[in-house]
Structure 1
Amino acid sequence: MELIVAKFGGTSIGNGRRIKKAARSVVKEYMKGKKVVVVVSAINKTTDELLQIVDEAMEDAVTEKQLAEIVSMGEMTSVRIFSSAIEALGVKSEYIDPFMDEWPIITDSNLLNAKVDFEATEKKSKELLKLLDQGIIPVVCGFLGRDPNGYITTLGRGGSDITAFLLGHCLKADEVIIVTDVGGVMSTDPNKLQGAKKLDKISVEEMRDLATHGAQVLHPHALKYKDPDINAKIIGFEHGDLSAPGTEIIGPSKNKMVKTTTLNPEPISVVAVVGEKILNKPGILAKLTSKLAENSINIIGISTGQNSVTIFVDKKDADEAHRLLHDVVIADDNLSSLSLGRDIAMITISSPDFIDTPGIISEITKPLRDNDLNIVEISSSQTSVVIFVDWNDGKKAYELVRGVLE
């Protein structure tokens, strides 16, 4: 029997009419013979209102334990109303909050920004399967957890997304559906550009980067629990139908879920282009990269400074890249000269945990510093760090930084 985890955001249950529509959409899937676990956020703006009241009443005097318990009231109210709405439609439902034995989300004791104890959560989640087998629809508080002492914890703002994907993973669901106030993931913010279009599909890696850089559609931390074998999509609440099309979230790729350190087997060459204050000259970067693209030369990396642009290419392409970029330098008065540098090694360190690991770059670079290995260049994203060192230092640097992930 197909199992769905459906998460409803605060706006999608923002009033009684929307809650009724959401409940009907759940019951509709249930009547098709599917098992459904519901995750709900606090009703629209409830958490913000509670935080404002706390600030006015106590300011800094509130303890973390008190604050976690207070803000949890938004989700605890939502599950009770939503579960009752389902039962009003003639289907059995039970709300699940952190005070109950069936509560599945177990965390550490960082009360306001807790980390999930995955092993304990996976074990406790099986309690929900017992309810599902009895024909009951569980409605679970999003955003909340419980620590080993029985205290309520919170997963941080947007934590309901984490709850949904985490339960999907632990219960081996067939699909996770995120119901929001938008019809899916857009090509950009439609409030800023009228030409924004809904995407039919987006990869986990793209979605994570988009969310980390400010898109409010989905919490980026939730995606580390996205199982490659589980379907997932984002839909708008206005449909009132969990089968409605939205944006499908693809992946992640199997190799993106593991921690890896790789050393590029071939040397990388550096071409440095210089000119006075070229960072402030529009179009310079486009001229350089376009020239290489027109001649099918791949750019492995690029960095910019106030007076320089450094481009990394495969060693086999270095002489041709040097010649082509020299033509650009000669033709542009804003550029003065360029140089073809020494061979360097490229080491890539990847982990889905980097996104919420403070100080990871320091951890990676420390063993290099301790062994007097110079870093030529470094770049990073939400899930990877790329280090360039002298080619002769490549193997040693690789061995040193590989231990960071172990």
Structure 2
Amino acid sequence: MGIIVAKFGGTSVGNGERIKKAAQSVVNEYMKGKKVVVVVSAINKTTDEFLKIVDTAMGKSITDKQLAEVVSMGEMTSVRIFSSTIESLGVKSEYVDPYADAWPVITDNNFLSAKINFEVTEDKSSKIKEMIDEGIIPVVCGYLGKNESGNITTLGRGGSDITAFLLGHCLKAEEVIIVTDVDGVMSTDPNKLLSAKKLDKISVEEMRDLATHGAQVLHPHALKYKDPKIDAKIIGYEKGDLSTPGTEIIGPSNNELLKCATINNEPISVIAVVGEEILTKSGILSKITDTLAKHKINIYGISTGQNSITVFVNKSDSDRAHEVLHEVVVTTDDLSSLSLGREIAMITVASQDFIDTPGVIAEITEPLQKSKINIVEISSSQTSVVLFVDWDDGNKAYELVKGVLK
């Protein structure tokens, strides 16, 4: 039987009844012959309460080292209660906190947002494997790390999910199960739309983009550590069954951190549609995009201004796009004219790290500025930056951008 890593979030261990249900779900899988490693967050709201007390007592005079030690108490309490509950159900269990000899997660010296030393962590994880092979269920603190000096560190936002996926990789687990307060990933927030439906599957890339734009189910940081060879799913705690179907997380498409630059193979053309204050006129943008969609012309990007809308299409489609959009212009009172511009290249830079990298756009564009390469247009999201430059400058710009990522 393969190894299962089950991570229980703060809500799923929010009180004694939930902890017992969670522990029973682990024991049930163990009784089926499966090997289970548990990762536990702090009991619901525990960390928030600690932070309030610290703020009142000390304010900003607390050091990062002290704060890491204080907030670690939430997870260290959780693992002790959870492990003891498993033993009360008749199965041998041991809690693993940063003071234990079997502690696996080794980091640098950044106390509140530590980087993991993968090589050492993989080596240390062998002790967790030994416990499993002896029939013991390890209950490991999520969110926490330990530096080479033995001091407690924290992994920052999404830390417990990071721990789960990290251990899944190090232990070559069969599956990582994220147990939370929802039954899986929904098509939208069910608190806002009752018509929201649970998704059976979602890719890592989709989940990452969803999470960076506000979905609370899983933090995008954790997805960096998702091994494509390991199954993963998100389930709700209420059923108390780790085998229940939830939302399966597929991928990623490769085993590297998503940090790359790509350039389109064909030139792209710019079409600018102008009209007085068209940004304030409803329905103009939809007329343009609907017309291009009707003629099966793909749009690579859209830029809007007070008096203009610019669309980016394949050069091979540009003459046809120019023609059909001209019909929109001459039949719409709020539009006055359009132009078909020069050929440009599109360079896309993507990384999960962008969301937490201040100045990333400046870092990417600075070498282009120094090389006097004009940027025709730029767009960005929390995980990608798209640059449009003159076609003749495309390859040079691409090489410069790749240099930034090294």
Q: TM-score, normalised by structure 1?
A: 0.97
Question: What code does the residue aligned with 1:95 have?
Answer: Y
Question: What code does the residue aligned with 1:231 have?
Answer: D
- Which stretch shifts more, 276-285 or 255-264? 255-264
Is contact 1:107–1:145 with CA below 8 Å preserved after alignment?
Answer: yes
Question: What code does the residue aligned with 1:110 have?
Answer: N
Cα distance in 2 for residues equivalent to 1:114 and 1:334? 54
Tell me which residue corresponds to 1:244: 244
- Residue 287 of structure 1, CA deviation: 1.1
Tell me which residue corresponds to 2:253: 253
Pairs within 5 Å for 1:76-225? 76-225=76-225
- Residue 306 of structure 1, CA deviation: 2.3
Tell me which residue corresponds to 1:389: 389
- Residue 18 of structure 1, CA deviation: 0.6
Cα distance in 2 for residues equivalent to 1:326 and 1:124? 66
Tell me which residue corresponds to 2:2: 2
Cα distance in 2 for residues equivalent to 1:189 and 1:278? 32
Tell me which residue corresponds to 1:402: 402
Cα distance in 1 for residues equivalent to 2:264 and 2:194? 43
Change (3 A) 1:259 1:71: closer
**Structure 2 unaligned residues grouped into runs of 5+:** none
- Residue 401 of structure 1, CA deviation: 1.5
Question: What code does the residue aligned with 1:187 have?
Answer: S
Tell me which residue corresponds to 1:30: 30
- Residue 256 of structure 1, CA deviation: 6.9
- Residue 171 of structure 1, CA deviation: 1.3
Is contact 2:220–2:352 with CA below 8 Å preserved after alignment?
Answer: no
- Residue 257 of structure 1, CA deviation: 4.1
The Cα offsets for residues 190-215 of structure 1, whole Å up to 9 and x where unpaired, read as 11111111111111111111111111
Q: TM-score, normalised by structure 2?
A: 0.97
User: Secondary structure of 2:125's match?
Assistant: helix
Tell me which residue corresponds to 1:270: 270
Is contact 2:102–2:128 with CA below 8 Å preserved after alignment?
Answer: yes
Tell me which residue corresponds to 2:280: 280
Question: What code does the residue aligned with 2:325 have?
Answer: L
Is contact 2:83–2:93 with CA below 8 Å preserved after alignment?
Answer: yes
Is contact 2:271–2:311 with CA below 8 Å preserved after alignment?
Answer: yes
Cα distance in 1 for residues equivalent to 2:63 and 2:41? 23
Cα distance in 1 for residues equivalent to 2:161 and 2:102? 20
Is contact 2:368–2:397 with CA below 8 Å preserved after alignment?
Answer: yes
Pairs within 5 Å for 1:293-372? 293-372=293-372
Question: What code does the residue aligned with 2:79 have?
Answer: V
User: Secondary structure of 2:317's match?
Assistant: helix
The Cα offsets for residues 348-396 of structure 1, whole Å up to 9 and x where unpaired, read as 2333443433333222211111111111112233443221111111121
RMSD: 1.4
Cα distance in 1 for residues equivalent to 2:282 and 2:203? 32
- Which stretch shifts more, 378-387 or 1-10? 378-387
Cα distance in 2 for residues equivalent to 1:106 and 1:367? 36
The Cα offsets for residues 134-179 of structure 1, whole Å up to 9 and x where unpaired, read as 1111101111111122111111233111111111111111111000
**Structure 1 unaligned residues grouped into runs of 5+:** none
Cα distance in 2 for residues equivalent to 1:203 and 1:256? 15
Is contact 1:20–1:85 with CA below 8 Å preserved after alignment?
Answer: yes
- Residue 252 of structure 1, CA deviation: 1.0
Cα distance in 2 for residues equivalent to 1:272 and 1:101? 65
Question: What code does the residue aligned with 1:284 have?
Answer: I
Cα distance in 2 for residues equivalent to 1:389 and 1:32? 59
Is contact 1:221–1:355 with CA below 8 Å preserved after alignment?
Answer: no
The Cα offsets for residues 20-39 of structure 1, whole Å up to 9 and x where unpaired, read as 10001001111111111100
Cα distance in 1 for residues equivalent to 2:352 and 2:256? 7
Is contact 1:256–1:351 with CA below 8 Å preserved after alignment?
Answer: no
Change (3 A) 1:29 1:289: same
- Residue 104 of structure 1, CA deviation: 1.1
- Which stretch shifts more, 97-106 or 44-53? 97-106
**Number of aligned positions between the proteins:** 406
Cα distance in 2 for residues equivalent to 1:256 and 1:131? 30
Is contact 2:271–2:340 with CA below 8 Å preserved after alignment?
Answer: yes
- Which stretch shifts more, 348-357 or 190-199? 348-357
